[in-house]
Structure 1
């Protein structure tokens, strides 16, 4: 079960549902004022999570389509289902979450393990070792002007 949960991005789905659906629902049920929901819940908590999420998608090699997960759940729950925020707020916050995720997704890549590797399609197949035939190439590349 744990392999299936990890294979289908279970932790990311769970976090996206908590951040995008359960927190706004709890904030509405508790009676937190809308201005505090907008500032703390939608800007601070969701913003920090989407920054982390963009980094995690890149670091773990997840599908970049997962970046759309939190904004889609947030807008679906907050705008269409519960009508917690105005439609304009919901779409702007969704765009903000996508942009924040993309900042960290395309951000600093020095820690990527495959940054200095040479991409080779289908591996090194059928290459000669170089010791069998030595070819001499002219310095000018063989082009005559």
Structure 2
């Protein structure tokens, strides 16, 4: 239950709709060029948020299924026609990939490799 409570931190769940739906909507209301909107908002800001979300989920020990939430929130903005369908699906996939990389980074090595018991000859007595 403690793992479940740590995962549902309000900052994580409030920031996703802000970065996925509200921020693109507000940016679309401005007179900025489309290239600036795509590069700054969708590439730089949302990619950084994807990495932060993946690291947050790893830090809290969250279930890996929660990695799908941020791309789904972004897909909701595509379905609401806030972001273009032309590139929205690909960006949602890219955000998922970045989250998975951030979630799994640093897990390549065993931290307790020195404490392991060698089993070359097998266990004779336990």
TM-score, normalised on structure 1?
0.67
By relative contact order (CA 8 Å, sep 6+), the higher-ranking structure is 2
Q: 2:84 aligns with which of 86, 94, 105?
A: 86
Between the aligned partners of 1:73 and 1:61, the Cα distance in structure 2 is: 21
For residue 116 of structure 1, what is the aligned residue in structure 2?
112
For residue 57 of structure 1, what is the aligned residue in structure 2?
57
Between the aligned partners of 2:63 and 2:90, the Cα distance in structure 1 is: 24
The answer to which of 6-15 and 21-30 deviates more is 6-15
For residue 136 of structure 1, what is the aligned residue in structure 2?
none
Q: Are residues 1:33 and 2:33 paired?
A: yes
Larger radius of gyration: 1
Asked if the contact 2:7/2:57 (under 8 Å) is kept, the reply is no
For residue 71 of structure 2, what is the aligned residue in structure 1?
71
Where structure 2 has 5 or more consecutive residues not aligned to the other structure, the ranges are 116-120
Structure with more helix by fraction: 2
Where structure 1 has 5 or more consecutive residues not aligned to the other structure, the ranges are 119-138
For residue 43 of structure 1, what is the aligned residue in structure 2?
43
For residue 118 of structure 2, what is the aligned residue in structure 1?
none
Which aligned segments of 4 or more residues in structure 1 are displaced greater than 4 angstroms? 139-142
